[in-house]
């Protein structure tokens, strides 16, 4: 796919933990899909069920958002062009904290926000939006 044919990058990310304590095993996935002007979709990157060590569900969601933003940032620099992107996550908490709708009450989550925000702001044409759990499962396969 040529860069000139690229319409948008869709990113699906999700994190979770087995249980919801800080000592539980956390995992996450993200997938980047390039969509051209004719609607053809091509998977550019797929990280599936990466082991994130111990953590809560919210920590896992934030870690995957940071990883997805880091990848998008590196990709934008590599292709030397701004391509619109939409990041979909089923974590309403992450979406609303990153977009400034919710304040961050827990310091351990603020550390992830502090990593994500500069990347998010630096990407000129990116939106982070909430999607259903079913959509995450459909696109990430878990």
pLDDT at 138: 87
37: CATH: 3.30.420.10
User: In this predicted model, what pLDDT tens digit does every residue of 53-97 receive, in sequence order?
Assistant: 888 899 999 999 999 999 999 988 887 767 889 999 999 999 999
What span, in angstroms and rounded, lies between the C-alpha atoms of 80 and 60? 30
pLDDT at 20 over 70: no
**Number of domains into which the chain is organized:** 1
Q: What does the pLDDT average to over 9-34?
A: 86
pLDDT higher than 60, residue 34: yes
- The answer to whether the predicted template modeling score (pTM) of the entire model surpasses 0.85 is yes
Domain that includes residue 14, residue range:
3-140
Backbone conformation region of residue 58, classed left if phi is above 0, alpha if psi is from -120 to 50, else beta = alpha
Give the pLDDT confidence score for residue 80 in this predicted structure.
72
């Amino acid at each position: 796919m040529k860069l000139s044919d690229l319409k948008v990058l869709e990113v699906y990310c999700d994190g979770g933990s087995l249980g919801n304590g800080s000592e539980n095993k956390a995992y996450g996935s993200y997938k980047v899909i390039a969509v051209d002007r004719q609607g053809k979709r091509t998977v550019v990157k797929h990280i599936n069920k990466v082991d994130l060590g111990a953590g809560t569900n919210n920590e896992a969601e934030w870690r995957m958002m940071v990883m997805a933003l880091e990848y998008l940032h590196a990709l934008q620099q590599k292709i030397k062009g701004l391509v619109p992107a939409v990041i979909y996550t089923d974590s309403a908490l992450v979406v609303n904290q990153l977009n400034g709708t919710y304040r961050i009450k827990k310091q351990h989550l603020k550390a992830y926000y502090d990593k994500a925000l500069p990347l998010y702001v630096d990407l000129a044409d990116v939106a982070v939006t909430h999607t259903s759990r079913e959509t995450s499962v459909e696109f990430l396969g878990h």
